[in-house]
Amino acid sequence: MRRPLRIIMLGPPGSGKGTRAHIISELYGIPVITTGDMLREAVAKGTEYGKTAGGYMSRGELVPDEIVNGVVGERLGRSDLENGFILDGFPRSTPQAEFLDDFLEEHGLKLDYVIHVTLEDEAIVKRLSNRRSCPNCGEVYHLVSKPPKKEGVCDRCGSELILRGDDRPEVIRNRLAVYREKTQPLLDRYMKKGLIKEVPGDYSMDRLSEQLKRMLG
Ligand code: AP5
């Protein structure tokens, strides 16, 4: 049996973190923890923290650290992570990275890789307007590079696909600005720990699996 893999996906909105996280998950049989999906689910259900988070998300701002740390801390405490985990969209700020460091240290765990997915801003804005997401199972499509078999319908669960509310150009620009200010500084932190693996966000879709396997061994 292979050793557990603990991975962080880091990169600007729409660079392809989620797409790669799900490929790695299938290759190595480890769960993906996507804070964006967890928060969107809470918003849809109208839970207490969902009500607070919704406003921040629709403006493309970060949801307050104490809310996100609470959600992630609860998820990391569950028992299905013995083979590791892939954090997609967390941490996104220095207090979140400190929270994660403390959690890992407390539980005697170590990170293996921080995968930094890179893509130019213009390509991101163009790409996200072509993204379609499944609100039910979280599967992500692209109208050109990964279209669903039947237009507007999720291949995996048959739900109707949506354009996310925060995938409008003006909100995307704000998400990019927030990324630069709050999340990008984390690269330095993980660089110093020797954990960063750089991957181009525009690498050919049908060769992603092969590329990730080569990188992770
Ligand atoms: P979240 O849902 O995490 O959004 P994000 O980080 O902005 O990332 P995205 O999901 O938009 O993109 P991605 O990089 O995963 O790209 P994808 O694989 O889909 O967060 C949303 C909001 O929630 C935040 O703004 C914030 O408000 C809140 N939030 C979440 N986490 C938080 C936290 N920790 N703290 C505070 N607030 C938080 O790919 C994009 C498109 O490109 C797809 O259509 C895909 O098919 C296509 N694509 C991917 N790779 C390729 C390729 N190689 N070639 C061609 N097309 C490709």
Q: How confident is the model at residue 35, as a pLDDT?
A: 97
Of 142, 143, 162, the one to substitute when testing ligand 1's pocket (max ligand atoms within 8 A of C-beta) is: 142
Burial of 14 per CB tally in 10 Å (0-12, 13-18, 19+):
buried
Which CATH code fits 5-30+83-216? Answer: 3.40.50.300
Q: How confident is the model at residue 217, as a pLDDT?
A: 86
Where do the domains of the chain lie?
5-30+83-216
Please give the number of the atom of ligand 1 that sits closest to the Cα of 208.
53
Burial of 136 per CB tally in 10 Å (0-12, 13-18, 19+):
middle
From atom 15 of ligand 1, which residue's Cα is the shortest distance away?
18
Q: How confident is the model at residue 3, as a pLDDT?
A: 86
Coil vs helix vs strand at 73 = helix
Of 8, 9, 19, 124, the one to substitute when testing ligand 1's pocket (max ligand atoms within 8 A of C-beta) is: 19
From atom 21 of ligand 1, which residue's Cα is the shortest distance away?
36
Q: How confident is the model at residue 138, as a pLDDT?
A: 86
From atom 6 of ligand 1, which residue's Cα is the shortest distance away?
13
Using the mean position of ligand 1's atoms as its centre, give its distance from the Cα of residue 1 in Å.
Answer: 31
Reported as a single tens digit per residue, the pLDDT across 31-86 is 999 999 999 999 999 999 999 999 999 999 999 999 999 999 999 999 999 999 99
For the annotated catalytic residues, the residue numbers are 17, 92, 131, 164, 175
From atom 7 of ligand 1, which residue's Cα is the shortest distance away?
13
**Per-residue confidence band for 1, with pLDDT thresholds at 50, 70 and 90:** low
d(CA 127, CA 146): 11
Whether 8 shows a pLDDT value over 70: the answer reads yes
Write out the two tokens for 145: 């590079």
Residues with CB under 6 A from ligand 1: 11, 13-19, 35-36, 39, 56-57, 60-63, 68, 89-90, 92, 96, 127, 131, 140-142, 145-146, 166, 175, 202-203, 205
**Helices and strands in the chain: count of H runs, count of E runs:** 9, 7
Reported as a single tens digit per residue, the pLDDT across 114-166 is 999 999 999 999 999 999 999 888 899 999 999 999 999 999 999 999 999 99
